[in-house]
Structure 1
Amino acid sequence: VNSCKVNGTKFTKKKLIEKQLNSLFQAKTLKEILEETETICGKLNRFGIFNDLGVNLDVPKSKILDNENEVDIIINLKEKPRFWARTGTEVGNNEGNLNASLNLRNPFGTGETFEANASYGLCYSSPINGNPDRVFQTFASQKNMSHKIYSSFNEFSNNIGFKFRKISPFGSSEYGYVASWRQINQIGKDASFSVRSEAGNSFKSSLYYRYIKDTRNDQMLPSRGALFKFYQELAGLGGDVQFVKHEAETQWNIPLGKGFVSLRINIFFLIIRISLSSSLRGGLLLPLMNSRTRINDRFFIGGPLSVRGFNYFGLGPKDGKDVIGGDTYWSTGLSLYAPLPRLADKPIKTHMFVNAGSSILLNQKESLSENVNRLIRTPSISTGFGLAVKFSILRVELNYCLPVAITKTDDVKKGLQFGVGLNFM
């Protein structure tokens, strides 16, 4: 590499770009140059401050006759607007809300972002030492969440904290601290004693660690690859909430028959791309210092995104009509996906599935084996079939579900079930 020129950096500081280019001058072959250029463009993209990136390779004009083995590299960038406002709808796992936000991108020229939104949240993020794969964030937010769909209360919280995110070839790791003042309020007039006893304030001060490794070819409707998630939280660094929490999820997606199976129907041949998906999730919440677990820290499972064939958070412990969550759970699923005829290249698939899961409150008077036995001996199981459709920002499912094993506390949803979200079992 004889030289590298970068065009289009009006606000971005020179030192940020230079740090990304250092390894480029170590490349000695054309293959190495192309690989390093691709890596650098990937890093620049991950800053989130550029719209378009283009790369040109050229022979140095002054050395055409002297050395034919040197190249000049020209990187053309287009910076995104520094300030913008937006309104819209956020869609999550069976949740949605209207929002408005003001954003400031790259305010100091080194890849920072600042966002203020109408849900009373602030978040400031900055790449460490000009590296987009090492990001430090501070945040503050205020949330008001309604749980009335499945339990008779709302939750209001004020949160402040910081986190450090690191991306490597081995996955994404995030370390963070959160201080949260929570309030269980707006208790329903028919609320159970379990919900009423949770009313009032609590203060949680916790450290957490999150790890994600995702090799799937599509995050919402994959046909190959694997996902592994792991989450740990330790609460009790001050405040009146003390616990240790573990949660893990794994998913494997395998194309069958090298991706194709040939089926004969009458005189027509259909080539159908079939894939198998298996998922497993589990969690454990243990109270510390002779404390108790709280309803807003427990696990809630069931519904179209986890164990289909049951209503939203319809599995696990209940008191009357109120779902009160579990201290430990497991859920698993096996799905077979195939495209519709003549729509093989479209993001719509048919699928058949089997789901199972269980959730319990731990009994401190029982032994470990007795608690484990209660967790695994009476699983809730469902099967069914339906359609899965991927849109640009979410996945939609319409399924016919048939619960085949239930417990007395399960909230069953037999027949058609509709689901909207990002992360399905």
Structure 2
Amino acid sequence: MAPKESHFTESESEPEDESEEDEYEYEYEEENNNPPPVTAQMEALIQRVKSEKVPLRVHDVIIKGNTKTKDSVIDFQIQALKTVTSVQELLQAAQIASIRLQKLEIFDSVNVTLDAGPPGLPGTSNVIVEVVECKNPVTGDIGIFTKPEARSWSLDGSLKLKNMLGYGDNWYNSLSYGWDQTTEVSAGVSLPRFMRLVNPVTARLSLLSQDWLKFTSYKEQTMGLSLGIISTRNHDLAYNLSWRTLTDPSQLASTSVRRQLGHNLLSHLKYTFKIDKRNSSVRPTNGFAFVSTSQLGGIFPDPRSVRYIRQEFDLRYALPLGFARAALNVGVAGGVILPWGNGFLNSRVSLSDRFFLGGNSSPVCTLGGPTSLLGFKTRGLGPSEPRREVGSKGEDAGFVTSSERDFLGGDLAVTAFADLSFDLPLKVLRDCNIHGHAFASAGSLVKLTENSFRDLSFHKYHESFRRSAGFGLIVPTTLFRMEVNYCYILKQHEHDRAKTGVQFSFSSPI
């Protein structure tokens, strides 16, 4: 089948939101070290473009190569080309159009060519947008990742179908199977444009099952639907509606855990503001990043709906040191969650929604909130309560039946870290980006609800911080990221799950 061509002239163009151009930044690189010689007329034009604004308008845009993709999908992404008034604006608009089309992930290549306009219309230009659609619309990947702090591992796989309907739609299915911990099956779709909405729209249906019997003596099952309403470079707004069930198969849960077993309706709006100016998200050596997440739960009018307000922030800064590609990364993160409604200070937050600290994932790569505290196991620090035997009437029998404790999480969490990364002396290691690092981390987790804030003082809050330090080796590959760290626990509480020694971690390469 011959490729289709789509034309529109300047009279058919529609005005574009100027704010869209602010979402992109561009770097112009020299692609050819030996460019062909330019004529005197061309050189004069180049100098004029550099020194002054040269008027120009687009007369016609020609779209080529889209045998399956609808013309409206491409036309919406190249709106910036229609309203340019100068050569400088046209060059920037061409970059914008190319980046937007590539972000759809349905084209193998995108080429935007600028040509002279009709001979009888001086000061005009024609633009040719040529795309090559993906030859294989089906992609997938699979990986095995270990979580030593939880003594488990997981098998993760995903399958993606691209542009099946011709509207730039991406359909994806994923499966994560973790032995004795977490199993999740999900399916979803993303559309670059839905009806008259300017931003992409996503929908995801998931079924999640988590076994926390080793940590908090309960199992959790959640089935829900998530809708992405707004998604731009700096802003994200999503809505989630799900049904969650907490059960205790062991019948050894502490009193605080048993009081929250049952069914819950989750309905919340989540807004995320993100700025990331770092030169890398895996090994940043320069720049800063900031993320703020606000979440309002319980907006669905149902008495079983979990009502809470959750606020998190995460601030990072990477400082290059000027030798051995060394850089100092520092970060601080915090979060607070509180119920809302009448008597909220006397109420409690649902167990699954609280903050839990610990884990062996590098805090340098986990941007979003207070999560990792190296050297402590997943959910490895309090508050906690002893597990007790349940009587015949569902009441506490009054004596401890196990040395295990239920870790209940907290309402206020704060973490901080400092990480010094550096290249190793051997060239073969530097070529593979294998590098070393030394780190120090600290974190606190306290309870505020059920009037616990009345007993919290500055001294008690200062004493609630746990600390660890260490050094290690990081081996990044295309399949996984491996860390071998020696962690030394500087401070822990009586019932914390922490260990001084060598720890391994395998995680996603991104």
| Alignment length (residue pairs) | 405
- One-letter amino acid matched to 2:92: E
Give 3-state SS (helix, strand or coil) of 1:204's partner. Answer: strand
CA distance in structure 1 between the aligned counterparts of 2:319 and 2:131, rounded to whole angstroms: 38
1:23 maps to: 80
Which aligned pairs between 1:344-355 and structure 2 lie closer than 5 A?
344-355=430-441
Which deviates more from structure 2 when the two are superposed, residues 333-342 or residues 232-241?
Answer: 232-241
Which aligned pairs between 1:293-332 and structure 2 lie closer than 5 A?
293-305=349-361, 306-320=372-386, 321-332=405-416
2:297 maps to: 235
Q: 2:483 aligns with which of 374, 378, 397?
A: 397
Q: Does 1:11 find its partner at 2:11?
A: no
2:106 maps to: 49
CA distance in structure 2 between the aligned counterparts of 1:151 and 1:304, rounded to whole angstroms: 19
- One-letter amino acid matched to 1:322: D
1:297-345 Cα shifts (integer Å, max 9, x gaps): 1111022222112222212312233322111110100111111122445
Unaligned runs of 5+ in 2: 1-57, 176-183, 362-371, 387-404
2:443 maps to: 357
Shift of 1:371: 5.5
TM-score by length of 1: 0.84
1:110-169 Cα shifts (integer Å, max 9, x gaps): 32233345554332322236999711222322111222443322211111232212314x
CA contact (8 A) 1:175 1:208 kept: yes
Over 3 Å counting, the alpha-carbon distance change for 1:253 and 1:7 in structure 2 is same
CA contact (8 A) 2:66 2:132 kept: yes
Give 3-state SS (helix, strand or coil) of 2:99's partner. Answer: helix
2:21 maps to: none
CA distance in structure 2 between the aligned counterparts of 1:87 and 1:423, rounded to whole angstroms: 13
CA contact (8 A) 2:219 2:247 kept: yes
CA contact (8 A) 2:229 2:239 kept: no
Which aligned pairs between 1:10-409 and structure 2 lie closer than 5 A?
10-27=67-84, 30-58=87-115, 63=119, 72-80=126-134, 83-84=137-138, 86=140, 88-89=142-143, 97-98=154-155, 103-117=160-174, 119-128=184-193, 134-168=199-233, 171=234, 173-188=235-250, 190-237=252-299, 238=302, 239-256=304-321, 260-261=322-323, 272-289=324-341, 290=343, 291-305=347-361, 306-320=372-386, 321-341=405-425, 342=427, 343-367=429-453, 370=456, 373-392=459-478, 394-409=480-495
Over 3 Å counting, the alpha-carbon distance change for 1:22 and 1:293 in structure 2 is closer
Shift of 1:418: 1.8
CA distance in structure 1 between the aligned counterparts of 2:378 and 2:91, rounded to whole angstroms: 49
CA distance in structure 2 between the aligned counterparts of 1:367 and 1:149, rounded to whole angstroms: 28
Over 3 Å counting, the alpha-carbon distance change for 1:159 and 1:82 in structure 2 is farther
- One-letter amino acid matched to 2:374: R
CA distance in structure 2 between the aligned counterparts of 1:423 and 1:368, rounded to whole angstroms: 44
CA contact (8 A) 1:43 1:132 kept: no
CA contact (8 A) 2:59 2:124 kept: yes
Q: C-alpha root-mean-square deviation of aligned residues, in Å?
A: 3.1
1:173-223 Cα shifts (integer Å, max 9, x gaps): 222222221112253355434333333222222222122221221112211
CA distance in structure 1 between the aligned counterparts of 2:410 and 2:440, rounded to whole angstroms: 22
1:335-379 Cα shifts (integer Å, max 9, x gaps): 111111224453222111110001012254355683665333331
CA distance in structure 2 between the aligned counterparts of 1:133 and 1:180, rounded to whole angstroms: 27
Say which structure is richer in strand: 1
Shift of 1:12: 1.4
Shift of 1:412: 1.5
CA contact (8 A) 1:157 1:181 kept: yes
CA distance in structure 1 between the aligned counterparts of 2:161 and 2:348, rounded to whole angstroms: 43
Q: 2:506 aligns with which of 413, 420, 424?
A: 420
TM-score by length of 2: 0.71
CA contact (8 A) 1:101 1:116 kept: yes
CA distance in structure 1 between the aligned counterparts of 2:198 and 2:431, rounded to whole angstroms: 33
Which deviates more from structure 2 when the two are superposed, residues 364-373 or residues 350-359?
Answer: 364-373
Higher relative CO (CA 8 A, sep ≥ 6), structure 1 or 2? Answer: 1
Over 3 Å counting, the alpha-carbon distance change for 1:78 and 1:90 in structure 2 is farther
Give 3-state SS (helix, strand or coil) of 1:296's partner. Answer: helix
Sequence identity percentage: 26
CA distance in structure 2 between the aligned counterparts of 1:394 and 1:283, rounded to whole angstroms: 29
